[in-house]
Structure 1
């Protein structure tokens, strides 16, 4: 950097709209700076379009690319190295400009330059829409600064005096009417309990006949069904009835050693001759 540049730390942009601050360096190397006032290359493109009053819906990507490249070139003339993102955008716009001016050879599978320009224009429109929405939000009233909530109202105290003019008969009638309404509202609901039908018990025992080679109680063979909550009584009753039917048909053998003793069952085995 020259001595004049070192004496004046504020350097104007080519269009005179923004300034960048840089500190002099003794070794004479160029500074790596970011473009002040912009959040990225896309934001700079949008600002260039707005500065030249270009409609984003009818934007000329070629003209915008030329403006951007000229802007970056002016920065380089000031012996400043622009941030990498802006240089990447400049290289991409230079490539897009060449594609717009010189058509690609036939047979190439590259993206059409018109599509690339349309995508860039769409991104600029979307960025402008987000900035407009942000500006609308920031322009709204702020609670505690522009608008304030209503304060707590002063409490009102009411003095209520009840005057009763009914006699004992009216009191009894009112009590009887209220009791009758309360009695009418009370309903008894019978809850349905889970049950195991005899058909289901018979099917389960028929599926277990093949493994009933030895004596076993109902708890042994039907342990999976008895584990369900609230089903033990229904399972035992239905299984006992189904086992009697299967014993009568010669499918099962039943045995009980005494009254109220466990009932054992197994697959029917013919007696040895």
Structure 2
């Protein structure tokens, strides 16, 4: 690698030796925070990254910032003028492509300028409470260590097996089958008692009697009509052929339905004649072929 010419604006040797001594003191103050800091090569070797070439360093700007924070590069030998010129040239090109990248490198360059000013300038005596260069370097080293720990934890979490990608859960779990086996505990007396109860249930001590319903069967109604119609010489109302105990209530309705059905059957057989003077009027019946007994012009059911 060819080194560029020495910067004419570089500090004199006396200032450089004083700065190196101050940097050594700062390094001793930050001895507890000088753990190595890992730089991600993928991030440092990006094609769109800012690669600087100045006195004392050549490489990406983010790596220079990391080394400067970790006190591995002497900032007193770095020319801020060359850094600013190369950075401005890079900003002009990066502004056309990606604004976020330019903003990130602007923060890096500002930190480098701020750290170098802290190392070159003596600490002010009148201002109390302001952090010195060594204290700032120690804090930055501690923050970088915390950042490195976060990155490692993030990588460990990312490399873990994830549900649905590397590991798959089983399907719907099956229900738990509960098989119960009863165990009977009984003595001889209880067994004999249970057996006798079952035997008693199977025996019938009383005869079952079917109660006769209060209805008049069609066969009984026809038999009654055949017996009574032979003595009737004229028209008679159908309710006059009801049995004596079927005169009211449900019995009357049953007798009317059965007697009417029996009458229609006998009319079909040619044994009876049936008449009705109008809707909802009484029904009259008589034996077929018997016209004597009713004078001419008399209404059915009238006797003169």
Q: TM-score, normalised by structure 2?
A: 0.32
Q: TM-score, normalised by structure 1?
A: 0.35
